[in-house]
Amino acid sequence: MILSMTGFGRAEGVFEGKKITIDIKSLNSKSFDLNIKIPLRYKEKEFEIRKILNDRIIRGKVDCYVNLENLEESNDVKINKSLIESYVNELRNIASDGPDFEYLKMAVRLPDAITSRPDELTEGEWESLAKIVNAAVDRFEEFRKTEGGILHEELNRNIQNIDKYLGEVIPFEEERIVSVKERYQKSLKEFENVDETRFYQEMAYFTEKLDISEEKVRLTQHLKYYKEVMDNESFNGKKLGFISQEIGREINTLGSKANHAEIQKLVVMMKDDLEKIKEQTLNVL
């Protein structure tokens, strides 16, 4: 099954007045390359988030953005009333002629009179965050499957085109050999005292060098193997890349042996489809 390395997924949720939004997008890459932007509040869980993304996304140049928005006004300040009252009483005892308001202004500046409430990341909030991360990856994977379906159709069409062009080579093969023989026989008549036996030996050797039977067989096998891997194996992008290289080698050899204008035209069309295959294969997971 073909999966595209290009993908996008978004998920959001709310936990105790905090709206969490996660966006994931990726482009093709030879390995897993993650760029993550995360609020300071969730920094301690960055390793766990990276592991979720690495395990599920596998490969690609990935950008992940975690956004946090407070939906409710929060009061993170704690006034230690009893401590302040104690400070005021002590100040009053020290200087009994002063107004209580002045004592209060001094008291609130003393240690621990006003403190910030600790707001640590709870296990419940982390579970909610992890759930949203996985939901974003779920949508991301759906996008990959859709794009992969389009890729599959294009790759299959290009493979079929190469196979079709290869079949069109057959009528020109015999014509090509006959043309070579006629050209050499004509050349033979133009010379005197030529060793005909040696001449025909050389011509047979040359004809053998022009034979493209093996290239046709190997190219047919590579095309078939490409389709089998594309249809039946998961995470097959790298393997398909290797097979496309082998397809290219056979097409190049076929072109170098062609020695026929029509076969050369077919080889050019094969190369055009092969370039499309190579380009598209780079985006296969």
What digits encode the pLDDT tens for the residues 228-278?
999 998 888 999 999 999 999 999 999 888 878 899 999 999 999 999 999
The candidate with the shortest Cα–Cα distance to 275, out of 165, 166, 169, 158, is 158
What pLDDT score was predicted for residue 64?
96
What pLDDT score was predicted for residue 142?
96
| Cα separation, 263 vs 33, whole angstroms | 44
- Which regions of 111-256 does DSSP assign to beta strands (E)? 114-116
Residue 184 in this model has a pLDDT that exceeds 90: no
| Cα separation, 250 vs 166, whole angstroms | 11
Rg (the chain; Cα; Å): 37
What pLDDT score was predicted for residue 187?
64
Residue 32 DSSP class: E
Contact yes or no for 229/155 (Cβ under 8 A): no
**Buried b or exposed e, range 84-98, using 16+ CB within 10 angstroms:** beebbeebeeeeeee
Per-residue pLDDT tens digits for 11-34: 999 998 889 999 999 999 989 999
Q: Region 32-41: what's the mean pLDDT?
A: 92
Reported as a pLDDT band with limits 50, 70 and 90, residue 191 is: low
CB atoms within 10 A of CB 253: 16
Contact yes or no for 70/17 (Cβ under 8 A): yes
Give the residue with greater pLDDT, 120 vs 161: 161
Domain boundaries, the chain: 78-115, 147-282
Residue 162 in this model has a pLDDT that exceeds 80: yes
